[in-house]
Structure 1
Amino acid sequence: MLWIYYALLKSDAFLLITINSFGCLIETIYIAFHITYAPKKTRMSTLKLLLLLNFMGFSTILLLSHFLAKGSTRIQVLGWICMTVSHSVFVAPLSIMRLVIHTKSVEFMPFNLSLFLTISAIAWLFYGIFLKDLYVAIPNILGFIFGFLQMVLYGIYRNKSKSAMVKGAQLPQQHYSIDMTKLSTITSTSEAQPNTECKEQNVDQSGKIKESLGSNPIIACEV
């Protein structure tokens, strides 16, 4: 939204308007899905951030720059604000990079995302250089650096993640086969040698054992 406002104040910034308009549309769809399917607590915190930053923050910048700055000064003020926001966006992946180093897994850092981030940063870097627009070029230098570092981390921990997944997949199977072996052994042993001891006893109604008096003894078994 800030980049659209910045592009509207400049001349020959059609590409900035189109790409950021498309970005606003896609991000709005993402946020709508997140609010729809997120838990209640997460949904409320997202709505608070959306209200605080996207509406109140943008409205404040819009009003202050419109009434307190004029002409080229307004463009410079907006350029610095847009550059600061862009830097914060490119610094955000640092948390993911830290997670990759800590867990030695690239599960949460897809290679395609890092690749296209780097390509996008390079394209906008040259675009800003050709137009001599430092507010566009400077943030993408940082974007190129972090995108390149993400691809390097992916190359370092890619094989380690695969080996960890293979070990994790084989471990339950080994335990399962051992348990089945023990179970079959116990079952076959119990069937071959039942743990029962039977004695031929004559038992009266009071439960006391007496000597055999009749011809048909009662069989009492202990299992």
Structure 2
Amino acid sequence: MDTDMIRTIVGIIGNVISFGLFVSPIPTFVKIIKQKSVAEFKPDPYIVTLLNCALWSFYGLPIVHPDNLLVVTINGTGLVIEFIYIAIFFVFSPGKKHINIIIAVLVEVVFFAVVVFISLHFFHDTKGRSMIIGILCIVFNIIMYNSTLTVMKMVIKTKSVRYMPFFLSLANLI
């Protein structure tokens, strides 16, 4: 077996696992839709994952890091899925949470636009772009995996894991 074949097999396995991560919150969103309320669930993990997927999708483009079709496809899929989650969260949130969600997403859009602009205008080869975008992707990947912990204050305070996104936390652990 050559290295390209191994890379493709590992990439496909990674995509299957990542897809599992992206769809793991479905039970939470089914509950939100049935209750017609987000109750005490937090949008943080989905907002952070949206930016993470956008950065990884950009990283996988040929202008940043050639030959990364699998990175683009799974993170593009994740981007769409996370956008749907945020839209559902927005629809079933009270007024104040609407504003917080809009602000968070706008900050992410501006941040992403700045990253794209800087990387395309100040880094003139794929090696430089891959390095800077890759580092950002790793940082936001770490933030994404820790984002489910934002509910820990409530878990400790209430001594209940009721609003801890169980399947998302489990998928992150796996």
Considering the TM-score relative to the shorter chain, is it more than 0.5? yes
DSSP-derived class of the 1:93 partner: helix
- Rounded to whole Å, the distance in 2 between the matches of 1:105 and 1:45 is 25
Once the two structures are superposed, the pairs formed by residues 1-223 of structure 1 within 5 Å of their partners are 1-8=54-61, 9-53=64-108, 55-71=109-125, 72-119=127-174
Give the share of equivalent positions with the same residue, in percent: 33
* Alpha-carbon distance, 1:98 to partner: 4.3
Deviation by residue 1:107-130 (Cα, 9 ceiling, x = unmatched): 2225433222222xxxxxxxxxxx
Q: Which runs of 5+ in 2 are unaligned?
A: 1-53
The AA in structure 1 aligned to 2:94 is P
Distance 1:43 1:63, change over 3 A: same
The AA in structure 2 aligned to 1:2 is L
The AA in structure 2 aligned to 1:4 is S
DSSP-derived class of the 2:110 partner: helix
User: Of the two structures, which has the highest relative contact order with CA contacts closer than 8 Å and spacing of 6 or more?
Assistant: 2
The AA in structure 2 aligned to 1:76 is M
The AA in structure 1 aligned to 2:113 is S
- Rounded to whole Å, the distance in 2 between the matches of 1:17 and 1:79 is 13
- Rounded to whole Å, the distance in 2 between the matches of 1:110 and 1:79 is 28
Q: Which runs of 5+ in 1 are unaligned?
A: 120-223
Normalising by structure 1, we get a TM-score of 0.48
Normalising by structure 2, we get a TM-score of 0.60
Deviation by residue 1:107-156 (Cα, 9 ceiling, x = unmatched): 2225433222222xxxxxxxxxxxxxxxxxxxxxxxxxxxxxxxxxxxxx
The structure with more strand, counted as a fraction of residues = 1
Distance 1:43 1:97, change over 3 A: closer
- Rounded to whole Å, the distance in 2 between the matches of 1:112 and 1:35 is 21
Distance 1:118 1:35, change over 3 A: same
DSSP-derived class of the 2:164 partner: coil
- Rounded to whole Å, the distance in 1 between the matches of 2:137 and 2:91 is 29
* Alpha-carbon distance, 1:89 to partner: 1.5
Q: Which has the higher mean CA deviation after the structures are superposed, 29-38 or 68-77? A: 29-38
- Rounded to whole Å, the distance in 1 between the matches of 2:96 and 2:151 is 23
* Alpha-carbon distance, 1:62 to partner: 0.4
Q: From the CA coordinates, give the structure whose radius of gyration is larger.
A: 1
Q: Which has the higher mean CA deviation after the structures are superposed, 87-96 or 15-24? A: 87-96
Partner residue of 1:178? none
